[in-house]
A = this chain, B = another copy of it.
Amino acid sequence: MKYTISQVAQRFGVQPHTLRFYEKEGIISPERTESGIRMYSEENISQLEMAMCLKSTGMPLKDIRRYFELVAQGDKTLDERLEIFTDHRTHVLSEIEVLKRHLCKIEGKIKWYTAFLEERKKELSQKAG
């Protein structure tokens, strides 16, 4: 099964020009029909899935391009690709830790504000009663 640019765009929630932009950046280059229309293969789709995974975990486009360059170079780059993933895992784990740590602070604030507002409500109803 092959897909047109707008089908793929819709699937990934982006605009067609974004996919052309990614292509220009050397990330995913689909085959073309004789007349020059982009046709994305199933493999292109799963490449894009990986690209989106890396992107939404904070990998810059130039590093994503690098990864796909290595893929294109075949088996001799397996070690380097593994390294990219292990490094990126470390990065994602530390991002999660940062978020969790700060989440605690935010939840502390929420508790504080909630308690304070609750207290104020009580006082008001006492005065009223």
Contact = CB atoms under 8 A, between A and B. Distances in A.
Interface of A: 50, 53, 56-57, 78-79, 81-82, 85-86, 88-89, 92-93, 95-96, 98-100, 102-103, 105-107, 109-110, 113-114, 116-117, 120
Contact of A99 (B86, B92, B109): B92
- Per assembly, the copies of the chain total 2
A57 B117 contact: no
Contacts of A57: 98-99, 102-103, 106
A91 to B, nearest CB: 10
Nearest to A55: B102
Contact of A117 (B78, B99, B103, B117): B78
